[in-house]
Structure 1
Amino acid sequence: MAALNVEQGRAVKGYDVVAYFTDGQPVKGSPRFSVRWRGATWQFASAGHRAAFRHMPDRYAPRYGGYCAFAASQGRIVDIDPRRWKTEDGHLYLNANRLAHFLWLRDPAGHIRKGDAFWRTVPQREL
């Protein structure tokens, strides 16, 4: 299981990962609609979003354990700002800040290739 970025027990700082795909924007989740997966609590804005995640969590979970995608492409692990994001080829990528997001957008395919290679070297741990 991949290392997962968890803050106070919550994945993606409490944001609804399904909303990035369905609403096209970051939306804060609610403890009312939450589920435990991979040692973290994932929060959603609705019961429908929670059900979608339960059905296919790997489809919605962000790449690189929810850490900054641009930083991963540079061989580093850095926290994220859930408001800096991009979906690419059906996957969610989060970034640390505006600059990381801007740089990510300049070459998503190249950054994904480098990030994937780096992420394979990150020690996996059970949460």
Structure 2
Amino acid sequence: MNRFPLKLAGIAVALTMASSAFAGDQYLDPTGYAVSGFDVVAYFDLEQNPVGTAQPEAVPGDKDITSTYNGAKFAFSTEANKAKFDANPEKYAPQYDGHCAYGVAKGGKVPGNPHLWRIVDDKLYLNITKNVVGFWEEDISGNIELAQGNWVGIEADPASDRAIPQFESPAPVN
């Protein structure tokens, strides 16, 4: 599997603080599911495309295969993925409680789009729009470092109540 490695020396320290990224409210769209009902474990099995190109489509979860974490319901496409999540939810849950990574780098909470994703150093990051992905990918490690610093001050704020632009949230399948 292709993973985008971070090259900046100080970023490892910032990423060790990632466990604090789960104390706030998880972003939920009208489906009531985290990550719009898509299987967060499945992202880690998808072949990641190079920076500057679109990622593969997210895998829909099944409404009958769920777990609760960080006050939110997560759906999974298989029982095996649910078991992986249950064993280590911090590994699979999106960073910044499912909010846009670039938005957090800029100091705010806006929704994360489950189709605009990237895994960096075994962490799942979401962004809000294709244009934002372009800005975020200009300096992924720098933006993660900024987001980690900003997150400390905004994680306790309420989750975004905005809708994901140009995105219709499907309910989990089945």
Q: Which category describes the TM-score, using the shorter chain as reference length?
A: over 0.9
Higher relative contact order (CA 8 A, sep 6+): 2
Match of 2:138 in 1: 106
Moved over 6 A (4+): none
- Which of the numbers 97, 116, 119 marks the counterpart of 1:84? 116
Partner of 1:22: 45
Query: 1:79 Cα deviation (Å)?
Result: 0.9
CA displacement, residues 71-95 of structure 1 (integer Å, 9 cap, x when unaligned): 1111111112110010001100000
Range that drifts further, 20-29 or 99-108? 20-29
Distance 2:155 2:96 in 1: 12
Distance between the aligned counterparts of 2:66 and 2:60, measured in 1? 12
Does residue 3 in structure 1 map to residue 35 in structure 2?
no
Which of residues 68, 78, 81 in structure 2 aligns to 1:49? 81
Q: Distance in 1 between matches of 2:154 and 2:133?
A: 22
User: Are the aligned partners of 2:40 and 2:94 in contact in 1 as well (CA < 8 Å)?
Assistant: yes
Q: How many residues in Structure 1 have an aligned counterpart in Structure 2?
A: 127
Residue identity over aligned pairs, in percent, reads 31
**CA shift at 1:103, angstroms?**
1.2
What amino acid does structure 2 have at the position aligned with 1:21?
A: F
Return the structure number with greater strand share: 1
Moved more, 97-106 or 50-59: 97-106
In structure 2, the partner of 1:12 is: 35
Q: CA deviation at 1:124?
A: 2.4
| 1:61 counterpart residue number | 93
1:118 aligns with 2:150: yes
In 2 relative to 1, CA 3–59 (structure 1 residues): closer, same or farther, beyond 3 Å?
A: same
What are structure 2's unaligned runs of at least 5 residues?
A: 1-22, 48-55, 159-174
Alignment RMSD: 1.8
